[in-house]
Chain A
Amino acid sequence: MWDYVVQPFADFGFMRRALLGCIAISVGATPVGVFLMLRRMSLTGDAMAHAILPGAAVGYLISGLSLGAMTIGGLIAGMAVALASGFVARVTALREDASLAAFYLISLALGVLIVSTRGSNVDLMHVLFGTVLALDDAALILLCTIASLSVLTLAVLFRPLVLECADPHFLRSVSGLSAVTHFTFLALVVLNLVGGFHALGTLMAVGIMILPAAAARFWTAGIGGMIAAAVLIAVLSSFCGLLLSYHYSLPSGPAIILVAGVAYGLSLIFGPVGGLVGRAVPRPHFET
């Protein structure tokens, strides 16, 4: 047991680095995912991840596999799409989902165009699937910085964000923070996805954001508990996923997300808040 669970991390530095990177992503991205889910924007993460692609690709083409260039490129592309779609949703009749879809599709097409004219398939694979087992110091510092920034910002913005999700009209009627909250939140989504794609790739980064959040919904009815449960599920999935990938030579990004997927499946079935088993087993109802 000890050999199976602890030895890989004790023996190999790259495993410890991978674990630290994944924990940072879990702590930073998962609470953002909980709010995405509560805002019914779960698919937004996916759209944003695609939107980041051209930025990362341009960064890669300019200076190779450079952490800084790809991060900045991804941030610029992601922020541009987030701002443009948020702006269109706030001032025109187009809903946020449609405006976001429009902009991310444009961005994605641009990304694919750039990668396929200039790069090779290997590069595309790197951007899409990440390199969690090859995280260097700079990447780890970046991931931990993003996680800290993300958690702090969420703590400060917690109340406006809850209100912006639950009752945006009321927030607008009592406070001028609605737009600030909206855009800061979108910025957090982009920031966490950009951080996540270094480790897990653009597509898998969304998985660690949304799957634990969706699973946590089945365990508790409160927001605080939901965030805690989601982070816990994400960290455990990272740990188990890395072990599986080590022992069975699986690609680690998908392994982590698949474990999170299993956690989601188990929550769906056994979760006490609206899980399938709970629904099927009748319990005596209250008098009042």
Chain B
Amino acid sequence: MSTAITFQDLTLGYDRHPAVHRLEAQIAEGSLTAVVGPNGAGKSTLLKGLVGALAPLGGGIAFGGLSGDDIAYLPQQVEIDRSFPLSVVDLVAMGLWREIGPFGRLRRDQRPRVDAAIAAVGLTGLERRPIGSLSGGQMQRALFARLLLQDARLVLLDEPFTAIDAKTVADLIDVVRRWHGEGRTVLAVLHDEDTVRAHFPETLMLARQLVAHGPTANVLTAENQFRARQMCEACDGPPHTCGRSAA
């Protein structure tokens, strides 16, 4: 199996403070990986680094044949202006941006794909609703429909199931499993251990540094979780310049 992403001694952070420190890991092409760890462990920061929203303070990220166009990213608190006059179908159809571009029109043959994506997340019938009238769960469904249309080889999800009811989570996990079945690489930041154990074969545990990475059952152990908490607390002391030399 080829490698989709290689983290090479990657350090990401804000204002010289590392949030992800000297990470070495490889994500296999087509893998379904949960990124777990305590709050402040650098999980969201890692995804921001992957989409290029944050430049590395050190090290780098190598993509095995993926370009920026192959990545779809669902941020944690989607900074969508929900009062903006957009309908559900407008929002979802934006997933076709890379095919249509800023100036092209939605072609006749693309319309059924938009409808299919909306149907896949169970929002059929709400196409004309303004996004401001959607519930939190419905909004997340619409955003997943947009991700479906983006047709990306690498999908990055930052806490996609936080504050979402169980039924919606189950439906959206079906979508994630579908991506996995289609051979896409999926990286999802998650907090709920049961979800991770049930649906994510691989887990990457972070506590600024890498705690463990591999099959979920081997990674999600009480020992690792204890270590992760300790590592995060140890990092909260006064800052000092990292003296570890690159190996």
Question: Which A residues lie at the B interface, using CB under 8 A?
Answer: 38, 40, 156-157, 159-160, 162-163, 165-170, 172-175, 177, 221-223, 226
With A and B bound together, what is the CA distance between A160 and B97 in angstroms? 10
A175 to B94, CA, bound (A): 12
Which residues of A lie under 8 Å from residue B194 when comparing CB positions? none
Q: Is the CB of A221 within 8 A of B130?
A: yes
List CB contacts (< 8 Å) of B12-48 with chain A.
none
Q: Place the interface of chain B in its size category.
A: 20 to 34
Given the complex, which residues of A lie within 8 Å of B102, measured CB to CB? Answer: 157, 159-160, 175, 177
Nearest B residue (CB) for A217 = B85
Given the interface pairs A169-B78, A170-B94, A174-B97, the reply to whether A159 lies near B103 with Cβ below 8 Å is yes
Interface positions, chain B 24-82, Cβ under 8 Å from A, are: 51, 53, 71-73, 75, 78-81
Give the residues in chain B near A160, CB-CB below 8 Å: 102
Whether the pair B103, A38 counts as a contact (CB closer than 8 A) is: no
Assembly CA distance A61 to B147 (angstroms) = 57
Which residues on the B side are within 8 Å of A167 (C-beta)? 78-81, 91, 94
Which residue of A has the minimal Cβ distance to B51? A173
User: Given B51, B71, B86, B103, which contacts A156 in the complex, CB threshold below 8 Å?
Assistant: B103
What residue of chain B has the Cβ atom nearest to residue A173's Cβ? B73
Task: Give the distance to chain B from A188, nearest Cβ to Cβ, in Å.
Answer: 16
Q: Which of chain A's residues has its CB closest to B96's CB?
A: A174
Find the A residue at minimum CB distance from B72: A173
Which residues of B are found within 8 Å of A163, using beta-carbon distances? 94, 97
CA distance in complex: A157, B146 (Å): 21
Q: Which residues of B contact A166 (CB under 8 A)?
A: 80-81, 84, 86, 91
Known contacts: A160-B102, A173-B73, A177-B102. The answer to whether A38 contacts B85 by CB under 8 A is yes
Q: Which 10 A-B pairs have the closest CB atoms?
A: A166-B84, A174-B97, A167-B80, A160-B102, A166-B81, A159-B102, A173-B73, A223-B85, A221-B85, A169-B79
Name the residue of chain B whose CB is nearest to the CB of A39.
Answer: B81
Beta-carbon contact of B85 and A226 below 8 Å: yes
B53 touches A172 (CB 8 A): yes
Please pick, from B78, B81, B94, the residue contacting A165 in the complex, using a CB distance under 8 A.
B81
Cα A167 to Cα B73 with chains together (Å): 13
Distance (whole angstroms) from the CB of A198 to the closest CB of chain B: 32
Cβ contacts under 8 Å, A177 to chain B: 102
Taking the nearest CB of chain A, how far is it from the CB of B51, in angstroms? 6
